[in-house]
Amino acid sequence: TDYYYRPLALMIEVSNLRSEALKYNSTCLNSELEMDFINNYLRNFAKTMDKRPYFAFAMQSTLTHDVLNYASYADAPTVRLLKALDDDGSLNNTLLVIFSDHGIRYGDMRYTYIGKFEERMPFMYMHIPKWFLNQNPDIERNMIMNQDRLITLFDIHATLKHLLHLKNQVSLEDSYEFGMRRFNEIPDSRTCED
């Protein structure tokens, strides 16, 4: 089952919650940090779906989009979300991917040689249940090996597509136009042209 957070986000944008927050240049909705609001949605969603397969996508950019120094305000809400998902067992049957859509996009550093790379290098963290890695030691080895290699969003798409068919043991070796599965070794010689 797939649920998409965007309709709720669009309703928030046109609601009094957003207009009141904008008056005060706030990242809160009423008395709640917007990030906590979204995280609570995700927690409730995971709890509701329980044993059913699902895909969820939620975007959070309010805190850091314009002020990088606000990133530290995301720490506590993120810890609360991860702890809640762990406590209720959701992380035991979930591939959780946390990523940014780009790197640093403002400040003088952006105009330096290194800054051009930083802008184009989003971060990505993946949580894979330990039992899954224990059953698939080659995947764990490859994931560790791939952590410092060039990865694209096409690779994430290929990985998610692979997960959809994992239970059926369908061969997907040649079914991707773009992207390499993160579960396979990605060549250390890979370039953007590949």
Q: What are phi and psi of 127, to 5 degrees?
A: -110, 125
Q: Where are the alpha helices (DSSP H) in the chain?
A: 6-13, 16-23, 34-49, 75-87, 113-119, 130-135, 137-146, 153-164
Task: Extract long-range pairs of 58-66: CB within 8 Å, 24+ residues apart.
Answer: 58/5, 59/5, 59/6, 59/9, 60/34, 60/35, 61/101, 62/27, 62/34, 62/35, 63/27, 63/34, 63/35
In terms of pTM, does the model score above 0.85? Answer: no
C-alpha span between 23 and 157 (Å, rounded): 39
Q: What is the pLDDT of residues 74-106, one digit of tens each?
A: 999 999 999 999 999 999 988 898 888 888 877
The predicted pLDDT at position 170 comes to 52
Tell me the pairing of strands 28-29 and 32-33. antiparallel
* pLDDT of 177 above 70: no
Q: Provide the CB-side half-sphere exposure for 68 (13 A, CA).
A: 8
- Provide, rounded to the nearest whole percent, the portion of the chain with pLDDT above 70: 91
Are 182 and 155 in contact by the 8 Å Cβ rule? The answer is yes
C-alpha span between 64 and 43 (Å, rounded): 22
- Report domain extents, the chain: 5-127
* pLDDT of 68 above 80: no
C-alpha 193, offset from chain centre: 25
Higher pLDDT, 66 or 128: 128
The predicted pLDDT at position 86 comes to 95
The predicted pLDDT at position 40 comes to 92
The predicted pLDDT at position 9 comes to 84
